[in-house]
Structure formats: C-alpha cells, structure tokens
Amino acid sequence: MKRFRFPLDRLRHWRRLQQESEQAKLDECVVRLRSVEHMEAELDRRRITEEQSLRGNLAANTVIAAGDTSLWAAHRNQMRRLADSLAAKKNDARLEMERQRSVLLNARRRSEVLNRAHEAAFQNWRRDLDREQEAIAGELYLTHWRPSRNRAGGFRIEAAALAEAAAQAVSPRLFRKTAT
C-alpha cells in the first residue's frame, strides 16, 4: 500500500501560516492597545500630581496672580484634549483589535476544517491499510500452511510457518505519517 499523502497538504500548510500571521497581527493590536492604556494611565498620574502641587501652592499662597489662573486653565484644557485624544486612540485600537480577532477566528475555522479533513483521510487510509494487512496475512498463512499428520491422524499447523507469516504481514514503513 502507498504511504499516506493528503492532497490538500499545501493548502493546509498555507492556512496554518495564514493563521499564524493573523495571530501576530492580533498580538500587535493588543500591544498598541496596552500602549495607549499605559499612556492614558501616565497622563492621569501626571494630572493628579500637578493638581496636588497646585492645591499645595494655593494653600500656601492666599493671593493668586491673574496670569497663573489663565496658565492653569490653559494647562487643564490641554490635559483634557490629550485625554480625549488618548480616549479616541484607545477606542480605535479596541475596534481594530476586535476586527482582527474576528479575522483570526475565521482563519482558525478554515484551518480547522482542513485539519479535520486530514484526520478523516488518515483514519480512512489507516483502516484500508489494516484491511490490506489482514488480507496479506491471511494469504501468507494459507501459502505457508503445511499440513502434517499428528499421531492422532489429524492435521496440525506448524507454529514456525504461522509466526513467519505474521512477521511478514506487518511492515513498519507503512505506518509513517507524512510531514505536517
């Protein structure tokens, strides 16, 4: 019997590579999202420390200059714009990650369909191989069967012929799977 060969192995390999590529893209999306979240947390930390510093200055000085209030207001507006910008980037990164996740799931499904077909084809091949080996073993048994009379006048099967037939019927080289 021929060695096992799956006709769609090249497509199966390509689908696996495509799945790995989509997984790498999803990993990049996750890294981008984590980066934006990290920048957002850093901005919040910076805003809190600056507000605490401002409150400390206000508590120490009862007199506030007009220029200081306008600078603080401008700074607060800039921080709000930065926070809004980061929130938009975070939303975009999250949407991109969800889109990429659905692309990856589709790639996994396509790959899994081919893997199941490969496994079914291998099982069919294995079943046919087993049938063929049983047929060969049966034929070998019959060709090596040498009837001889025993003392009671009946026939007996020679054990050496039976063992030799069984050893020839099993060929380990047929059991190798092709490279996946």
Instruction: Give residue 130's pLDDT.
Output: 93
Report the distance separating Cα 177 and Cα 172, nearest Å.
11
At 67-123, the pLDDT tens digits run 777 878 888 899 999 999 999 999 999 999 999 999 999 999 999 999 999 999 999
Q: Where are the domains of the chain?
A: 9-175
Q: What percent of the chain has pLDDT over 90?
A: 55
CA distances from residue 144 to 3, 69, 137, 150, 178 in whole angstroms, order as listed: 27, 108, 10, 18, 34
For residue 168, what pLDDT band results from cuts at 50, 70 and 90? low
Burial class (CB in 10 A: 0-12, 13-18, 19+), 34: exposed
Question: Residue 109: phi, psi to the nearest 5?
Answer: -60, -45
Ramachandran area for residue 170 (φ above 0: left; ψ -120 to 50: alpha; else beta): beta
The DSSP code for 174 is G
Question: Which runs of E-coded beta strand occur in 61-126?
Answer: none
Q: Residue 12's CB: how many other CB atoms inside 10 A?
A: 19
* Rounded average pLDDT over 117-142: 91
